[in-house]
Structure 1
Amino acid sequence: MELLKIFIWFSCTLSIAQESFKVQGLVLSEGIPLPYANIYAENTKKGAITDDKGKFSISNLEPGTYSIVASFTGYTKKKKTVTITDKDLKIIFHLNESDALNEVIITGTLKPVSRLESPVPVEVYNNTFLKKNPTPNIFEALQNVNGVRPQLNCNICNTGDIHINGLEGPYTLVLIDGMPIVSGLSTVYGLSGIPNSLIEQIEVVKGPASSLYGSEAVGGLINIITKLPENAPRFFADGFATSWGEANLDAGFKSKVGKKATVLVGTNYFKYDQLIDNNNDNFTDLTLQDRISIFQKWDFKRSNKRKFSLAGRYFYEDRWGGELQWNDNFRGGDEVYGESIYTSRFELLGNYQLPTTEKIDFQFSYSDHDQNSVYGNIPYLAQQRIGFGQLIWDKKINNHDLLFGSTLRYNFYNDNTTATLKADEVTIPSIFVQDEISFNKKQSLLLGIRYDYDCRHGNIFTPRIAYRYKPTDEDIIRLNAGTGFRVVNLFTEEHAALTGARDVIIEETLEPEQSYNVNLNYLKKFYLKNSMYFTFDTSAWYTYFTNAIIPDYDTNPNQIIYDNLDGYSTSKGLSLNIDAVFGSGISGSIGATYQDISQTENGVKSKQILTESFSGVWSFSYKNYATNLAFDYTGSLYGPMRLPLLGELDPRREFSPTWSIQNIQVTFDGFNNFEIYGGVKNLLNWTPNKGNPFIIARADDPFDENVEFDNNGNVVATQNNPFALTFDPSYVYGPNQGIRAFFGLGYKLN
């Protein structure tokens, strides 16, 4: 009898254990049912999609505790923990719109503020934006930002700079966590090797920001903000490879160290070693690269929630391009042409809030960049060191939000070229004050001024004013005006300075470049039925430059002549960004920019070289929650730009055609913590050699052994050189890399 009771009890227990239940519910947004929302039980393969009435049902759940998650594109994700014992459950989710415009930004005013409340228009691009078109570095990723273009300056070594609204690289300041450690010589290298998984967001300000950031922020600035360790995943790894043979790997982790410290560690490794010459000029189409970067960031808990963070990064790269038969044995010689660059740099940056009753932060950074490179048989050895310290006092008095700052910046630069007669070493002290006045919820006014003392140029003042008017919750008008300045640096990595011994001629005492800018921005939001909304963001700008300093290599081929422009230059244009979120997992954005950049000297107006008159970018995404598949289509379009010809006989195009780079990607994230992605880059297989007889001038004679010159140093046309050219790889306006497939795998443990 006892055995029978035990058998019956065991059978009932087994029956209950095998019984399954379901979770039913409803997803609402502002009381309205939200169709096609994604519902799933975390860490399981159980999930559902809401129907037209916002209802869902997840079946076959065994007894236990589950985290049920509701998500929908454009809405903040919600999670509820439920425990299933012996019956079905019903739950209701209320999702709120996740408006990217409410992101917290720092760059515009040097303090955290809602993007909607900032009097300075700031564009924000988060990690999701970077994942739509995975790239091995931030430099390439910026090609999908409206009005921003990574410009390659050399067909062989692939170095370049970043143009904002058509202005060249020296006018763009690049920051990491607000610190000016990426500058001048190091722009391309400083933007490589930062794992995309460690980037919280990228903030872009278009127009002068010198009143807060000093020299170099004349055309605009880009601030790359890395994640706080507490916000990063516990472990992450992401790697992808392309059909061209490129391989990129990001990996990292975070860990608690004791009770008061958290550390975030990230590494990036990139390798490309394939010899590809699709344009048949015996030169590599893409620079071969081998680089590694190690990043570490510490966050310390202090009393009264005071901040203290410290970060460091080391970067090393070996890159080369040139004739296909080149190897290290030919480095620096004149037998086989190659451009070989060894780069070693380290960076340190931190933020420490002083233990005072007032909110005072001390921010600091230091970077050391060492470059050992050769261009054919011409060595280019350069060092750049930047030290930076800044005290910021944030004080609120009634409706005045005040900011006081004191800055000390140390710049050191030296190289072995004739453009640098002696090491450029200077320490620049600065002070600035800013007052943001809130009249009411609709209107605010920002006033600011900065004072810099440069021993080479004396006193420099840069004021600015910004006005924000918000007539409704869906409309914002911003008017910004101010000045900018840039001090001259007589160093360059241009090939023209490395082609032979040139005398440096400074015709006058060089004055800092000055700019005067006005920018009008209008932002409009539309909320439609069926969970759709649109954002329109449009700007018009005008910038006037005086004292522009442009090195002249053309007047005399034996000289580099520096002087201030005898006239003025201008930058003016219009830009429009449209972001849209539709139902059913569809979202998209499109941007367009029209610009006119020119200089006028002695009454003669000329267009700036390598500057497009119009450009466009777009991104369209679709997420199918039922299959866990996401599709991304991104692209960019550039109008004609004037190209650097070598003379009247040069047969290459004087203007580029309108050209476009387009990419497509498919991502599957149906596995726990894993995602798989792949796609095609440069779908149109566009390269700049199409329509040109050649890209690199005199590729068959890279050391100009068969070039004849007259007594004035001008090239003479001969039977072997009918176009009167010298070897020149600077005729470049886009990448030589054609169509290619890519495949990647990512893992993240939160």
Structure 2
Amino acid sequence: MKNLILCCGLLISSITVAQSSIKGIVQGGNNFLPYANVILKKSNNAVVTDSEGNYLFENLAAGKYEVVATFTGFQPEKQTITIADSTITTLNFQLRENNTLDEVVITGTLKPVSRLESPVPVEVYKPAFFKKNPTSNIFEALQNVNGVRPQLNCNVCNTGDIHINGLEGPYTLVLIDGMPIVSGLSTVYGLSGIPNSLLERIEIVKGPASSLYGSEAVGGLINIITKNPTNAPVFSADSFITDWGELNVDLGFKGNVGKAATVLTGVNYFNYSNPIDNNNDNFTDVTLQDRISVFQKWNFNRKSQKQLSLAGRFFYEDRWGGELEWNKGFRGGDEVYGESIYTKRWELLGAYELPTVEKMLFSFSYTDHDQNSVYGDTPYLAQQRIGFGQLTWDKKINKHDLLFGTALRYQYYDDNTTATVTEDVNWIPSLFVQDEIAFNDNHKILLGARYDYNSNHGNIFTPRFAYKYKINDNNILRFNTGTGFRIVNLFTEEHAALTGSRDVVVLEDLKPERSINANINYLKKFYTNNGNFIGLETTAWYTRFSNSIIPDYDTNPNQIIYKNLDGHAVTKGISTNLDFVFNNGLKMILGATYMDVSKTEEGVTTRQILTEKFSATWAISYRINKLFLDVDYTGNVYGPMRLPLLGDLDPRSEYSPTWSIQNIQFTFNKFKNIEIYGGVKNLLNWTPNKSNPFIIARANDPFDKNVQFDANGNAQATADNPYALTFDPSYVYGPNQGIRSFFGLRYTLQ
């Protein structure tokens, strides 16, 4: 018996000695990749790299192994290795950045799916894309996305919205982590102050998405997805200054609360306090701002491994623009003109996966927005509260990938204007269903429908259909069609009336806008023999609107007239994106869009205001490894747009010229965890005033004290006012800020 035990011991000992190991480092570019996944194929063995990118497999038997390393934002890499007995073998990985075609996306179908497998085309933009041209807010950051244009709506207060394929901001739904918390008032003010340090990626869907997201997702949607606290750096900092005196600071912190939760905190601070008037109209070229935003996100660790997260943000901003001698002592008076806006905003959002066998997720959000503004001597005091709750059930049955959902939206709005006589309160319950059917690896269709009930507008039904044909791994064709709707939220447009002398006229009880859309998308990937990559994606679309609510600036220059269009409006066009990734360190992202946006009423078709026929964007990057230097050249170009004039005598151009904003940046990344960057924005020093006698009408008389009117309220031509104008800062199509240099520093501690 003793001999048997001894033999067994010697056998176990020999087996233990014969065990081997595989170790190595996972890198991406010049950086180690923490928390990357390293997997032994055809086994259940997987590990995660440490903060320095190291991994280790132990107690392996001798033999041949396939090892795969993956990391979000990078292409997976697979290597095959043969190991002998009692050895420690080193196997390192150098991952290449993903070209964004294979990202996991959720916005198109409310489910995580490979972008290539999604029947709905979704564009994905990672933080690396926005770092090529650093900005202080998401609004400005989108200027280099093809088909997406940040539109300034006022020369004085510099507020704006996001246009997708030529459609006004109210047609675009902006989500944060899938929750519709940026809407109404915040389409004008809420896109600032989202800390860039918390940005994981931005997903963009162009075209109606009302069958999943309801009202406002008529022209498209933008989903701002924040980082998972588990994968975020322990600390990050990014700060830059410009020679105009702008200062932006982004900070991110991560910590563990025992074993119960991981918490991520982000802080953004922006300050600009240097009045500049380069166009000599005695008005600030850029609004002065003092802004702080604090965002915190919690991920709770549940024994079931099911999702539980909670996030909140507080935002406060004090901004003003106007005559250079304005100060807060003139706020609300008629001596010196200024537009002063105090914005205070709370946001709360979360997700809870129910403890059930079925995959059921409850998501919710709540926002409270308080605004205290004055435009000259006109006060605008507004409050908005939006609550949203949604329950989804994700169920797979054979070839059917089903999603059932119900949602409830609460909207409260009140202001001191004549457009809001009483408080506006709305409850909007919704039901939706989606079925994604995979006939085989090549053919997939998606069927969807949504029912909403609005207390003001009754029943609203929105269907959806999508088809994806995977020709092969490198060629994908998609067709999408569906309807959209937008309930009436007049206060999001009325901002234009508050900043000038135009009166708002609502001619009728406004009905919800409806749209029907069809688009076809083709994606092509090319791989050359030497490892270079080219990605091509082209989309053609056609959208027809009924009951359109288009502000009418033309009928009476002293009014903004709102009514449902007695006819229809159309946006159609074609858009192409090209991605190039070369082995020599050169990368290019090129985009171009051609579109036609028009309205037809009483048989007459006219081009809609502030819509360009063509646009293009580019981001060209080159890495000089020997110098540890990255060079980024970014820019955009826009074709002429029809602009809002104040009458036949207005000397300003009816159409804008073709214009372009171009930037260059140099980033030095030799030091571990540190990036030093600097460059020049608006290299061409382009500003709108260069092709016009003036931009702001009657800037010398902003309270219209010296304007003479006839019995119908129309301005009259006089010696002091030869063009019969009133004060109006809404003639705006591009930023007034000229050339400027910037310098910044990034630090990341994994």
Same fold, judged at TM 0.5 (above): yes
The residue type paired with residue 723 of structure 2 is F
CA-CA distance at 1:624 after TM superposition: 2.0
Q: 671-680 or 142-151: which moved more?
A: 671-680
Residue number in structure 2 paired with 1:723: 723
Q: Identity over the aligned pairs, expressed in percent?
A: 69
- 686 and 119 in structure 1: CA distance in 2 versus 1, 3 angstrom threshold: same
3-state DSSP of counterpart to 1:420: coil
User: Greater CA deviation, 736-745 or 69-78?
Assistant: 69-78
Q: Which amino acid aligns with 2:296?
A: Q
> 1:49-448 counterparts in 2 under 5 A?
75-76=75-76, 93=93, 98-448=98-448
Question: Please, what is the CA RMSD of the aligned residues?
Answer: 2.7
Q: Note closer, same or farther for the CA distance 1:720–1:360 as it changes in structure 2 (3 Å cut).
A: same
Deviation at 1:334, TM superposition (A): 0.4
1:194 CA drift (Å): 1.4
Pairing of 1:274-673 with structure 2 (within 5 A): 274-491=274-491, 492-497=493-498, 499=500, 502=503, 504-507=505-508, 509-552=509-552, 555=555, 561-673=561-673
Shift of the alpha carbon at 1:496?
2.2
Between the aligned partners of 1:165 and 1:392, the Cα distance in structure 2 is 30
Cα gap change, 1:168/1:332 in structure 2, threshold over 3 Å: closer, same or farther?
same
Three-state SS of the structure 1 residue aligned to 2:274 is coil
Change (3 A) 1:198 1:38: closer
Answer whether contact 2:517 2:542 (CA < 8 A) is retained.
yes
Give the whole-Å Cα distance in 2 for the aligned partners of 1:330 and 1:281.
19
Deviation digits for residues 346-386 of structure 1 (CA, Å, limit 9, x no counterpart): 10000000111111000000011111000000001111111
CA spacing shift, 1:78–1:661, aligned 2, 3 Å: farther
Q: Which amino acid letter does the alignment assign opposite residue 150 of structure 2?
A: P
Unaligned runs of 5+ in 1: 1-25, 29-35, 44-64, 81-87
User: For the residues of structure 1 that align with 2:166 and 2:281, how far apart are their CA atoms?
Assistant: 30
SS, match of residue 100 in structure 1: coil
Deviation at 1:679, TM superposition (A): 0.4
CA distance in 2, matches of 1:185, 1:474: 43
Aligned residues: 691
Q: What SS does structure 2 have at the residue aligned with 1:689? A: helix
Give CA deviations for 1:46-93 in whole Å, capped at 9, x if unaligned: xxxxxxxxxxxxxxxxxxx9959999997558999xxxxxxx998665
Counterpart amino acid of 1:157? C
CA deviation string 1:171-220 (max 9, x = no partner)? 00000000000002112422111121211100000000000000000000
User: Which residue is 1:51 aligned to?
Assistant: none
Gaps of 5+ in 2: 1-23, 35-51, 57-68, 81-87
**2:687 corresponds to:** 687
Change (3 A) 1:95 1:646: closer
Structure 1 residue 418: deviation in Å?
Answer: 2.0
**What SS does the aligned partner of 1:140 have?**
helix
Letter of the 1:259 counterpart: K
Tell me the amino acid that sits aligned with residue 312 of structure 2: G
For each residue in 1:547-574, what CA deviation from the matched residue of structure 2 results, as whole angstroms up to 9, or x when unmatched?
Answer: 1123446546776643211100000000
Paired residue type of 2:639: G
Distance (Å, rounded) in 1 between the aligned partners of 2:206 and 2:217: 9
Partner Cα separation in structure 1 for residue 91 and residue 518 of structure 2: 53
| 1:533 and 1:580 in contact (8 A); partners too | yes
Q: Give 3-state SS (helix, strand or coil) of 2:140's partner.
A: helix
Moved more, 725-734 or 545-554: 545-554
* 1:275, distance to aligned residue in structure 2 (A): 1.0
After superposition, the Cα gap between the structure-2 partners of 1:564 and 1:581, relative to the gap in structure 1 and judged at 3 Å, is same
Deviates more, 1:264-273 or 1:668-677: 668-677
Q: Secondary structure at the match of 1:200?
A: strand
Q: Secondary structure at the match of 2:626?
A: coil
The CA distance in 2 between the partners of 1:195 and 1:173, in whole Å, is: 19
| Aligned mates of 1:41, 1:236 — CA distance in 2 | 15
Report the Cα offset of residue 497 of structure 1. 4.5
CA distance in 1, matches of 2:32, 2:211: 51
Cα deviation for residue 512 of structure 1 reads 1.1
1:506 is displaced (CA, Å) by 3.7
Task: Find the counterpart in structure 2 of residue 4 from structure 1.
Answer: none
Distance 1:721 1:222 in 2: 44
Q: Distance in 2 between matches of 1:345 and 1:90?
A: 53
Partner secondary structure for residue 368 of structure 2? strand
- Report the CA distance shift for 1:524/1:556 in structure 2 as closer, same or farther (over 3 A): closer
Distance 1:556 1:739 in 2: 37
Structure 2: distance between partners of 1:590 and 1:527? 18
Please tell me the residue identity of whatever aligns with 2:264.
L
How far 1:494 sits from its partner (Å)?
2.5
